[in-house]
Amino acid sequence: MTTPTIATLSRQLDDGAITSRQLVDAALASIAAGGEEARKTYTALHTEPARAAADAQDLLRRAGQRPSPLAGLPISVKDLFDEAGHVTRAGSRALEGAAPASRDADAVARLRAAGAVVVGRTNMTEFAFSGVGINPHYGTPGNPADPARIPGGSSSGAGVSVAAGHVPLALGTDTGGSIRIPAALCGLVGFKPTQRRVSLRGALPLSWSLDSIGPLARTVACCAIADAVLAGEAEWVPPPAGLAGLRFAVPQTVVLDGMEDAVAAAFDAACRRLSEAGARIIEVPLAELAEIGPANAKGGLPAAEAAHWHRDLLAEKGDLYDPRVRVRIERGRTMSAVDYIEVAQRRADLIARTDRTTADYDALLMPTVPLLAPRIDAFAEDAEFARLNLLLLRNCALFNFLDRCAISLPMQRAGELPSGLMLVGAAGADRRLLSIAAAVEPMVGA
């Protein structure tokens, strides 16, 4: 299952060429064959329940029932989503003794109702609080392109589960890039919807102001199919928008700073091919981006909101936290109510101003991450961990703060390490962005 899309697999199921049980057994066999790397990718496998669910989907299909294109397909779910009967550990030892969830998170429930078969829970950065993907508790899954390199986070296992060919779709979350970063570093498509489109109920929060729920998959169409289910919308595959005449703004502030040569070359090539296809590539200052860092200088919304959620758990089990995660959460304790309100007000102002500045463009265009996946051993020192983590998060986090939808597409050439091209749309313009991304997709990368 390394290459088939959701549409291809769904068609094969409809034609009787394969069964859901065969797909699920193949997924489980692929995970088993992955050895230690697969062990670090999942915090739990649902072997027998997944097989039973697959058998049920096969029976429904034979009876003419097919609730969605996801019906019968194996998927993975990030470890911060509630699943009835399972402990939601969020990649942490501090929650190992917690009571099992009594019901599925809304996002998981919608995927199950659509017929998707959950084969396992994927590893992640503890409490989703970094873009690296390193987890000292359950191990760090290596990047399938090079296991010595990070997969990106915080949805690390989600990205690896798709890139390694275990499943065609993974459910992740994105507070500052946690879907788009692993998508970019693992060579996948990752979609962050406008936050309010997908219910957060049953997903352990990092920042309720910024958390978003979305898919990682092989193609834009795969992500669009899953997004429609997650948002409770009608089945939809994006018709590619015509590229000729589309206006893409390339911000010149912050997002192009410090790019590695390989990423810069891939981005330049992607822009050139889009221009040759008739799109207009326009450099814009977008100076508002330079104000976002200072607005969050005291920790921002994630630190304050995480400190609120974790206050009791830290007091009871703080010694079980990854120290690099704990220090980021505890930073929120130093913020006053005045600081928190100031960030919220500056955010509202920057959203309004940026919306006006970008109103004439179809999408913003930039690298998802300014560097290729670093080696895992590059993060041994705390100072280097902090520096690289900020670089990994930088471009993506800007647009969580600005309440935008965004998508990362693979833009590397054959034989190169993965890198991502990010398209950013206006808040609420998710389907328009997916249609644009569907047109861009065949023009960039290998």
> What are the tens digits of pLDDT across the range 357-396?
999 999 999 999 999 999 999 999 999 999 999 999 999 9
The pair phi, psi for residue 214, each rounded to 5°, is: -160, 180
What pLDDT shows up at residue 1? 42
77 bridge partner residues: 121, 171
Whether 168 contacts 1, CB under 8 Å: yes
Does the pLDDT value for residue 163 go beyond 80? Answer: yes
H or E stretch at 286 = none
CA distance 181 to 159: 9
SS3 168: coil
Tokens of 405: 């939808």
Question: b/e string for 230-259 if b means 16 or more Cβ within 10 A?
Answer: bbeeeebbbebbebeebebbbbebbbbeeb
Closest alpha carbon to 414 in 266, 237, 214, 211: 266
146 CB-near residues (< 8 Å, 6+ apart): 373, 417
Task: Give the DSSP letter of residue 345.
Answer: H
Question: 63-107, pLDDT tens digit by residue?
Answer: 999 999 999 999 999 999 999 999 999 999 999 999 999 999 999
Q: Which residues contact 380 (CB under 8 A, 6 or more apart)?
A: none
Angle between helices 220-230 and 6-15 (to 10 degrees): 80
Number of alpha carbons in the 13 Å side-chain half-sphere of residue 375: 5
Domain definitions of the chain by residue range:
1-288+362-446
One CATH from 3.40.1280.10, 3.90.1300.10, 2.40.50.100, 3.20.20.70 for 1-288+362-446: 3.90.1300.10
Cα separation, 391 vs 185, in Å, equals: 13
What rounded mean pLDDT belongs to the chain?
97
Q: Assign residue 173 a region: left if phi > 0, alpha if psi is -120 to 50, beta otherwise? A: beta
How far apart, in whole angstroms, are the C-alpha atoms of residue 334 and residue 325? 16
Instruction: Give catalytic residue positions.
Output: 78, 154, 178
pLDDT tens digits for range 316-368: 999 999 999 999 999 999 999 999 999 999 999 999 999 999 999 999 999 99
Place of tokens 């693979």: 410
